[in-house]
């Protein structure tokens, strides 16, 4: 049977999410951001949240997230997305509000905003893309950069005595009584993408039910910053990032 017959007689089992903008994304080939953008688009559509969703974009590679998902967006200053989200949500609790932040945005410059929003139990979803590097500015050290990892500002590898330890911030957020659901996922295989999607769904359900802040960390790659092919970056992530940032629920949803 040829391809056209399958298309005509078969079922479409996967299509570009309806809420994704038609334009091409600016991300590098193989970037995890694209996969997470797809999942957010699918979840908001499936949960009927298109009209009430307000996304808060970060500063970092995902600064243009608002170009790609067809909902209302606010572009925040670097690190301030949880503060911005706090007001957007509190002024109208019927909104589905989420932040989309990288490791520099969330765990360096925005640490205070992140921890305090989570500690207040703001009913927002915090989507945290952790690839251990600053992608947008050219591959500098991030708070989550691994020990020994080479970046533009740690050209000989991150040294703990000089740069301190990698900041494992998600377990800190899980400790806070304000968080309802804290999980760490990845999107490097089809199975992990499906798991990540169900985690994101759970997160939006939690905040729309008013249970408190939901945090979904996605351990991700940055093939450009890591200077390896996307496929190789996935392998490197499994070998090096997962031991430091193990996947799974850090605080299951009750």
Partner 1 sequence: MNEEVRLMKGNEAIAHAAIRYGVDGYFGYPITPQSEILETLEAEMPWETTGMVVLQAESEVSSINMVYGGASTGAAVMTSSSSPGVSLMQEGISYIAAAELPALIVNVMRGGPGLGTIHPSQSDYFQATKGGGHGDYHLIVLAPATVQEMADFVGLGFDLAFKYRTPAMILADGIVGQMMEKVVLPPARPRRTPEQIAKQCPWAAAGKHKRQHRNVVTSLELDSAIMEKNNERFQRTYAEIERNEVRYETYFTDDCDYLMVAFGSVARICLKSIEEARKRGVKIGLVRPVTLWPFPYDAISQIAEHVKGILVVELNAGQMIEDVRLAVSHDLPVYHFGRMGGIVPNPLEVLNAFTQKFNL
Partner 2 sequence: MAKVIGTVVIDRERCKGCDLCVVACPCDVLELAAKDVNDRGYHYAQMLNADACIGCAACATVCPDACIEVYRLMQK
Options 156, 190, 239, 254; binder of partner 2; rule CB under 8 A: 190
198 binds partner 2 (CB under 8 A): no
135 binds partner 2 (CB under 8 A): no
Q: Which residue has the tokens 């351990």?
A: 219
Residue 245 · residue 217 · CB < 8 Å: yes
3 binds partner 2 (CB under 8 A): yes
Options 40, 63, 126, 193; binder of partner 2; rule CB under 8 A: 193
Q: Please provide the DSSP assignment of 166-234 as one string.
A: ---HHHHHHHSTTEEEEEEEE-SSHHHHHHHHHHHHHHHHHHHTT--EEEEEEE---HHHHTS-HHHHH
Closest CA to 56 of 76, 35, 34: 76
227 binds, among partner 2, partner 1, none (CB under 5 to 8 A by kind): none
Options 6, 7, 48, 112; binder of partner 1; rule CB under 8 A: 112
| Count of CB atoms situated within 10 Å of the CB of 175 | 13
Q: Are strands 213-219 and 125-130 parallel, antiparallel or unpaired?
A: parallel
- Choose the binding region for partner 2 from 26-34, 80-88, 146-154, 156-164 (rule: CB under 8 A): 26-34
Total site size for partner 1, rule CB under 8 A: 33
Minimum Å gap between C-beta 83 and partner 1 is: 4
Which residues in 51-80 contact partner 1 (CB under 8 A)? Answer: 51-54, 56-57, 63-64, 66, 70-77, 80
């Amino acid at each position: 049977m040829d391809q056209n017959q399958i298309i005509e007689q078969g079922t479409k089992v996967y299509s570009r999410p309806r809420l994704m903008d038609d334009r091409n994304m600016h991300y590098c080939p193989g970037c995890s951001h694209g996969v997470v953008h797809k999942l957010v688009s699918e979840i908001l559509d499936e949960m009927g949240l298109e009209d009430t969703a307000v996304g808060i974009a970060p500063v970092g590679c995902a600064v243009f997230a608002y170009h790609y998902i067809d909902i209302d967006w606010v572009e925040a200053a670097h690190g301030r997305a949880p503060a911005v989200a706090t007001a957007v949500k509190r002024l109208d609790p019927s909104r589905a509000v989420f932040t989309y932040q990288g490791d520099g945005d969330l765990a360096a410059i925005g640490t205070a905003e992140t921890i305090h929003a989570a500690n207040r139990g703001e009913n927002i979803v915090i989507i945290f893309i952790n690839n251990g590097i600053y992608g947008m500015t050219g591959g500098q050290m991030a708070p989550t950069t691994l020990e020994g990892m080479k970046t533009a500002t740690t050209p000989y590898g991150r040294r703990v005595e000089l740069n301190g330890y990698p900041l494992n911030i998600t377990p800190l957020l899980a400790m806070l009584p304000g968080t309802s659901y804290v999980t760490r996922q990845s999107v490097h295989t089809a199975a992990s993408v499906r798991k990540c999607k169900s985690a994101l769904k759970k997160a939006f359900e939690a905040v729309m039910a008013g249970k408190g802040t939901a945090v979904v960390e996605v351990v991700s790659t940055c093939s450009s910053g890591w200077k390896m092919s996307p496929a190789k970056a996935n392998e490197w992530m499994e070998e090096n990032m997962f031991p430091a940032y193990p996947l799974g629920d850090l605080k299951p949803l009750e």
